Structure 1
Amino acid sequence: MIPARLAAAALAAAALAVLPAAAARAEVEVDPTRYAALGDSYSSGTGTGDYFDETCLRSNRAYPQLLANGLGAELAFAACSGATTSDLLSKQLGSLDAETDLVTVTIGGNDIGWAEAVTACITPLTDCMDEIEASETLVEEHLPGLLDGAYGAITNRAPNAAVYVLGYPRLFNGERTCGALKQPNVAEQVRMNQAADRLAEVLQGKAEEHGFTYVDVRDAFAGHAICDDVAYLNGLTYPPAESYHPNEMGHLNGYYPALSRAIA
């Protein structure tokens, strides 16, 4: 579903293209698109720097701000680093109402113990396969119900909005190690990417069940994973909260174009 104000803006532009020059100079007033960005650190922009909110690590370099600038939209930026589906329900839905035209969301990664799995995989002399399998179990058995609750609440609060659920990229190239710790090893990278693919399948399935558009960003990040020559993702870095998150290029060249194509 195309947001009402986006459709109005497109129609206005088309009308100006065919009107005589004098008429084209007449100002066409269209209310700005009302856009709400929900979710976790992958939407808040953690990893990009330039934070205007140090608590939630919200950044002007994050894809929601890039999209709002491109659309000339009014942005309600509610996404917050560390957010779970429970946090979305309790703290972020206030940014939505019946006048909301557009919603984007990344959510679920913090509900499946993914940070714990990553931590185990980057710890030298340990094996992280058990942690990865534990995350996959949560993806299969726990996450679908949580997504139903979150997505249903978004629909109830913003019944007229077009909703875009964005997925998560694969973190690793699965070919070589890098960094001082040389962790995780290649086998662990491959296994983590497999788990990321299963997460994507669940996110897409639930998004489509709720009539939302799923935006798969894995292709946008292909060739730009951690250890690639031009990485769109941070490896282990300082401050630690920015580790294993999209960097500025990840939002500018990864998330933003993928989302823009989906909206177009």
Structure 2
Amino acid sequence: MMKTSVQAGVAGLLACGTLLTVVLVTRDGDGTHTGIAYSAPAKGPYVALGDSYTAGPGITDPTGTPVGCDRSAGNYPALVAAELGLKGGDFHDVSCSGATTTDLTSAQKTEDGTNSPQLRALSSDTRLVTLGIGGNDIGFSSMIKRCVAMGTLYRLTGSGKYLAENAPCARAYVNGDSDEVRAKIATAGDRLTRVLTEVKRRAPEARVYVVSYPAILPSDGADCGREMSLAPGDVTFLREKEQQLNSMLRQRASDAKVTYVDTYTPSAGHDACTAKDTRWIEPLTPENPAAPVHPNARGERGMADAVLRAIKSAL
């Protein structure tokens, strides 16, 4: 009841272009609620840009167009907008599953419709932008699939024991000083820098937040065999590559003088190999509504809370 009243008040004052401080009721990663006080954007719309970790496929029925983007009404942009009291023309979610940095400036074809270039949603009126991108640029999804296949083969033909040094997939990507994934991360970083420059050009008055990826895999590789069929050394390899990707996002955000949102730290202990009622990320066979190896509703809530904390901190 109190939450509804706060949101209504925020929405009214936003429409008047007033800057105010409010207290929002949000949930921590364990489902508890905390109050987050922050200064709301003075006026204007919120635009959400990004890939499937932003869109939230499988959590609820798809919303928005095109249907092929698999946006969920329960994704973190929708939750952030709801906490800010933004509705209708004040909130534009153009995220799309499968998006790369290229799809921010070019149309993206999906299995069910074409998504316009995401940056087209920006304007001089935009006051808040969140961006979650980069995983598809480095082919992280295909990496996981390849590593799962190798891990499954290892389990069937190997010694039958998970040994920490076993990383058949890592050896396919890293050879001596040559690291294919690290090179792709660097290239994605250069593209992100250009994207952020364009975001600031199109929406010069907006506060921009680059949102990282939450923890997908645990720190202990031996804990993930049943859920993900990965050799333990490859769990370590994939986890390190995600951390390198997030480090790149942090650095490029800092270079562009925009805010980096850390979702990895609060998601620690909520990875795909934890219990059904704890995890933020679903394993290969989801037990909660979500796409495989993607955030569930709890994960999107945790990411939304991280964004709201960043908004508070930045202001």
TM above 0.5, one fold? yes
**C-alpha distance 257-243 of structure 1, shift in aligned 2 (>3 A):** same
1:93 is matched by which residue type in structure 2?
A: L
* Identity between Structure 1 and Structure 2 (%): 32
What SS does the aligned partner of 1:143 have? helix
Distance 2:218 2:231 in 1: 11
- Give the deviation of 1:156 after TM superposition: 0.9
- Give the deviation of 1:178 after TM superposition: 4.4
Paired residues of 1:5 and 1:101 also in contact (CA < 8 A): no
CA RMSD of aligned residues (A): 2.6
**C-alpha distance 238-169 of structure 1, shift in aligned 2 (>3 A):** closer
Distance 2:147 2:60 in 1: 25
Specify which structure has the higher proportion of helix. 1
> Runs of 5+ in structure 2 lacking a partner?
1-12, 24-40, 107-116, 155-167
Partner of 1:261: 309
Q: Runs ≥4 in structure 1, deviation > 6 angstroms?
A: none
- Give the deviation of 1:237 after TM superposition: 2.9
| 1:247 matched to 2:296 | yes
Paired residues of 1:96 and 1:157 also in contact (CA < 8 A): yes
Aligned with residue 169 of structure 2, among 114, 128, 137: 128
- Give the deviation of 1:31 after TM superposition: 7.6
Aligned with residue 64 of structure 1, among 63, 72, 77: 77
1:261 is matched by which residue type in structure 2?
A: R
Q: Map 1:206-245 to 2 at 5 A.
A: 206-229=252-275, 230-237=278-285, 242-245=291-294
Distance 1:165 1:217 in 2: 10
Distance 1:31 1:103 in 2: 14
| Alignment deviations for residues 165-223 of structure 1 (CA, whole Å, 9 cap, x no partner) | 0001221113212446x511221111111111111111111111111100011111111
2:83 is matched by which residue type in structure 1?
A: G
What SS does the aligned partner of 2:98 have? coil
1:78 is matched by which residue type in structure 2?
A: V
2:169 is matched by which residue type in structure 1?
A: C
Distance 2:266 2:180 in 1: 27
Give the TM-score normalised by the residue count of structure 1: 0.84
Distance 2:55 2:173 in 1: 26
> Runs of 5+ in structure 1 lacking a partner?
15-29
Aligned with residue 18 of structure 2, among 2, 8, 11: 8
Distance 2:225 2:61 in 1: 26
1:75 is matched by which residue type in structure 2?
A: F
What SS does the aligned partner of 2:272 have? coil
Aligned with residue 166 of structure 1, among 211, 215, 222: 211
Partner of 1:88: 104
Partner of 2:201: 156
Paired residues of 1:47 and 1:234 also in contact (CA < 8 A): no
Distance 1:219 1:238 in 2: 23
Paired residues of 2:44 and 2:125 also in contact (CA < 8 A): no
Distance 1:214 1:238 in 2: 29
| 1:177 matched to 2:203 | no
